[in-house]
Structure 1
Amino acid sequence: MDREFWLQKWRNNQTGFHEKDANPNLTAHFPSLNLQANQRVFIPLCGKTLDISWLISRGYDVIGAELSDIAIKQLFEQLDVSPQTTQIGHITRYESHGVTIFGGDIFHLTGDIIGPIHAIYDRAALVALPPAMRITYTQQLIAMTGYAPQLLVTFDYDQAVMNGPPFSVPKDEVLEHYQDHYHLTCLDTHPINLKGKVPAQEQVWLLTPSQKIGG
């Protein structure tokens, strides 16, 4: 699985992963991050999620990363705003009304490019990546956000029954990626029928940093 896999999904309008409302895990558990209004929330691999509208309506600034320019265009059409664009190397920054989306490969982003981040909301990024990429991704996310706290959503299911994405990322793997840098609390776990194909446990994690860069 590579860049072309996801770009093709958007070209073909194969976006069944796009939800028609704000995710209930976000609305139920986002207050656990204890953010103040106008603080900056990073959403990796954001697509055109309506979670962005929900966060904006509550006074947060949203910073997103998205590979597909089709998804970004549809996102701003959905928000009914026209973004200003700036080219930063291989990355295009789209910005308007409390929303900044960095278009391009998330692995080209750095802390200097995205600026300070007060929290991460990862509902669809970690679970979208195959195992080897998850290792690189989590290291990248930690480094460029300065150990920002996270609200993370994962799935635990028998990967032999269904190929990802979304992939199964069980508790042991979440700990493997993050326990050296965060205190992890499972806020919720509940059964779902994932994509109508396989029984799964959907889990919501709160990651509270145990250190800062340089600390």
Structure 2
Amino acid sequence: ELFSELGETPVISELGELSVYAAPGLDIYLGDIFALTSPLLGVVDAIYDRAALVALPAEMREHYTQHLIQMTDAAPQLLVNYDYQQSAMPGPPFAISDDELNRHYAQRYTLEPLHCESVPGGLKGQCPAQEKVWLLTP
């Protein structure tokens, strides 16, 4: 769908356990992110995390964030998260507090909050939540 919106037809190839959809200036890897390594990925200019971290249960987040930092050499990130009372809704999306973001990223990044707004009607209509946008700069 993204390639169609861009007016591009991707070249699709297999790379180990992953599928790669490529067009000029854009490569999308489909598969288990933990199968993706720095040598396979190459140089990364930036990361956009729209729904990855909030989709993971607490016990997977540290492994995910450290893997992302390592394989991208701490590339700058634009990250979107939700913050709400986790007991009000089981997730996903899971609540990620400012403190948790700092625990995962503050050793390698400066975290700058760019935007925060209440989710209209609450998250999935179940509980009040804040949607937050962050810039993570090495």
User: If the length of structure 2 is used for normalisation, what is the TM-score?
Assistant: 0.90
- Residue 200 (1) aligns with residue 129 (2): yes
Q: Which amino acid aligns with 1:195?
A: K
Q: Alpha-carbon deviations, 1:50-73, whole Å to 9, x = none?
A: xxxxxxxxxxxxxxxxxxxxxxxx
Higher RCO, 1 vs 2 (CA within 8 Å, ≥6 residues apart): 2
Q: How far did 1:179 drift?
A: 0.8
* Residue matched to 2:77: 150
- Residue 124 (1) aligns with residue 57 (2): no
Q: How far did 1:131 drift?
A: 0.7
Q: Alpha-carbon deviations, 1:132-175, whole Å to 9, x = none?
A: 11111101100011011111111110111111111100011001
Residues of 2 paired with 1:201 and 1:128: CA distance? 16
- How much identity, in percent, do the aligned residues show? 51
Q: Which amino acid aligns with 1:100?
A: D
Q: 1:174 aligns with which of 101, 108, 121?
A: 101
The alignment's C-alpha RMSD in Å is: 1.5
Residues of 1 paired with 2:31 and 2:7: CA distance? 22
* Residue matched to 2:23: 96
- Residue 183 (1) aligns with residue 117 (2): no
Q: Which amino acid aligns with 2:132?
A: Q
Residues of 2 paired with 1:203 and 1:96: CA distance? 30
Q: Alpha-carbon deviations, 1:93-145, whole Å to 9, x = none?
A: 11123321112111100111111111111111111111111111101100011
Q: Which blocks of at least 5 consecutive residues in structure 1 are unaligned?
A: 1-73, 210-215
SS at match of 1:135: helix
Aligned residues: 136
